[in-house]
């Protein structure tokens, strides 16, 4: 589950307490469940001074929605949305001072978008490429012009590509597959003006999940696959899973999943009663769908709940002979790269820029920003 401060790096000098483990109703040791004693978790020595300061601040301030159940989320949703947008707008002001881009509010096939045009774009229109960005926010908060621009602006400036941030429909006002339909509508509009080999798709958190779902939707609709995709802070399982789901909850003082791995999450307000093993929801469970994925880049960190999900999705793609790149930063949390001030975030953006440049056949616009 994510919250209004989810996109700032988060870590706590905490471990699983006896009380927290009791809440999970731990089965006998014979079932293979390990009870972890409390221990102090220091900041990673590999972090830059800037990242250490950010993580230290996150430990002190915490995440105000980390332990909200969905009934409370619904009650507080207007405040959660406003808080996330206000925070993002403050970050965007600094980004626009650092990265020279122009923003254009448009509608593509009935879907609102923000088109980000970098001043570093190639002079020759034939050399220009398009990236479609899908913002995070648990499918219930965030906007294309708020959280979406936190990624879209740096990626546009550092690649020289046009980036289109999509204002897809979210819950609880809308239900799955509304967001996938919106992304497909924007993608169809893009295909009217350029080949699929000149288009990439990427997103972070819920936007990363939606990137995988959109690729599955393109396959269902028999649309040509884009040249490349980026699943950042997300994998191919919409519910997440594996060790990191528990570990990250412990170190960020969030709700621990039950022993069977289940845990209500904000995204349920969008998904409703879906089958989470449906490949249109969680493509990792379908080899037939994964076998159609384009080259895919994964970005995550060791204190991120999605780490296990990401590594499993990456391993499935590799096993199926698909091209997949996985990059993991130590000691950072979910969506760390949305704080562009961190040296580690700049590293991540350089990885993204080189990946899309390689697969979309474009030259990068000079040395990337440091």
- Between 21-35, 43-57, 156-170, 350-364, the lowest mean confidence (pLDDT) is in 21-35
Length of the chain: 370
DSSP character at residue 365: -
Three-state DSSP at 302 gives: strand
Would strands 162-166 and 111-118 be described as parallel, antiparallel, or unpaired?
antiparallel
pLDDT for residue 174: 98
pLDDT for residue 231: 98
Q: What is the CATH number of the domain that holds 240?
A: 3.40.50.1820
The encoded tokens of residue 168 equal 């897809």
Task: State how many domains the chain has.
Answer: 1
Rounded mean pLDDT, 226-234: 98
pLDDT for residue 19: 31
Interacting residues of 176 by C-beta distance below 8 A, sequence separation 6+: 270, 271, 272, 274, 281
pLDDT tens sequence across 290-328? 999 999 999 999 999 999 999 999 999 999 999 999 999
pLDDT for residue 95: 97
Express as a percent the part of the chain with pLDDT over 90. 76
- Position 368 in a domain: no
- Per-residue pLDDT for 1 more than 50? no
Three-state DSSP at 98 gives: helix
Q: Residue 53 burial (CB < 10 Å; 0-12/13-18/19+)?
A: middle
Query: What confidence tier does 367 reach under pLDDT thresholds 50, 70, 90?
Result: low
Rounded mean pLDDT, 327-337: 97
Provide the residue range defining the domain that includes 309. 18-360
What is the Cα–Cα distance from 329 to 334, expressed in whole angstroms? 10
pLDDT for residue 12: 27
Select the more confidently predicted residue: 8 or 209: 209
- Position 4 in a domain: no
- Position 2 in a domain: no
- Position 36 in a domain: yes
- Position 369 in a domain: no
Express as a percent the part of the chain with pLDDT over 70. 90
**pLDDT, averaged across the chain:** 90
Most confident of 121-130, 190-199, 264-273: 190-199
- Between 20-24, 231-235, 274-278, 361-365, the lowest mean confidence (pLDDT) is in 20-24
What is the Cα–Cα distance from 165 to 112, expressed in whole angstroms? 9
pLDDT for residue 38: 85
- Per-residue pLDDT for 285 more than 80? yes
pLDDT for residue 16: 27
Query: What confidence tier does 7 reach under pLDDT thresholds 50, 70, 90?
Result: very low
pLDDT for residue 28: 52
Question: Which residue, among 247, 176, 262, 241, has the nearest Cα to 214 in the 3D structure?
Answer: 176
- Position 289 in a domain: yes
- Position 6 in a domain: no
pLDDT for residue 77: 97
Query: What confidence tier does 86 reach under pLDDT thresholds 50, 70, 90?
Result: very high
pLDDT for residue 30: 62
- Per-residue pLDDT for 82 more than 70? yes
Interacting residues of 2 by C-beta distance below 8 A, sequence separation 6+: 65, 136, 137, 138, 205, 206, 266, 334
């Amino acid at each position: 589950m994510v919250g209004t401060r989810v996109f700032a790096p988060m870590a706590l000098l905490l471990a699983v307490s006896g009380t927290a483990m009791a809440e999970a109703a731990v089965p006998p040791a014979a079932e293979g469940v390990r009870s972890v004693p409390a221990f102090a978790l220091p900041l990673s020595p590999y972090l830059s001074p800037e990242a250490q300061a950010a993580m230290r601040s996150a430990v002190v301030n915490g995440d105000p929605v980390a332990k909200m159940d969905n009934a409370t989320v619904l009650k507080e949703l207007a405040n959660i949305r406003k808080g996330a947008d206000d925070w993002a707008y403050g970050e965007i002001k600094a980004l626009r001072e650092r990265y020279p881009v122009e923003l254009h509010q448009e509608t593509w096939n009935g879907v609102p978008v923000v088109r980000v045009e970098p001043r570093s774009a190639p002079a020759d229109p034939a050399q220009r490429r398009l990236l479609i960005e899908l913002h995070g926010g648990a499918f219930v908060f965030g906007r294309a012009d708020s959280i979406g621009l936190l990624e879209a602006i740096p990626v546009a400036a550092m690649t020289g590509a046009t980036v289109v941030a999509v204002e897809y429909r979210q819950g609880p006002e809308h239900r799955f597959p509304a967001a996938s339909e919106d992304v497909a509508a924007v993608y169809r509009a893009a295909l009217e003006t350029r080949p699929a080999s000149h288009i990439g798709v990427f997103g972070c958190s819920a936007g990363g999940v939606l990137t995988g779902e959109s690729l599955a939707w393109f396959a269902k609709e028999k649309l040509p696959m884009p040249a490349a995709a980026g699943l950042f802070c997300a994998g191919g399982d919409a519910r997440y899973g594996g060790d990191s789901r528990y570990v990250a909850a412990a170190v960020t003082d969030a709700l621990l999943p039950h022993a069977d791995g289940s845990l209500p999450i904000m995204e349920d307000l969008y998904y409703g009663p879906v089958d989470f093993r449906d490949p249109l929801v969680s493509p990792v469970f379908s080899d037939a769908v994964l076998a159609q994925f384009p080259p895919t880049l994964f970005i995550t960190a060791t204190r991120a709940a999605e780490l296990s999900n990401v590594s499993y999705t990456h391993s499935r793609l590799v096993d199926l002979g698909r091209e997949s790149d996985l990059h993991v930063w130590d000691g950072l949390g979910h969506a760390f790269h949305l704080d562009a001030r961190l040296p580690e975030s700049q590293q991540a953006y350089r990885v993204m820029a080189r990946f899309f440049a390689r697969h979309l056949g474009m030259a990068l616009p000079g040395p990337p920003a440091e």
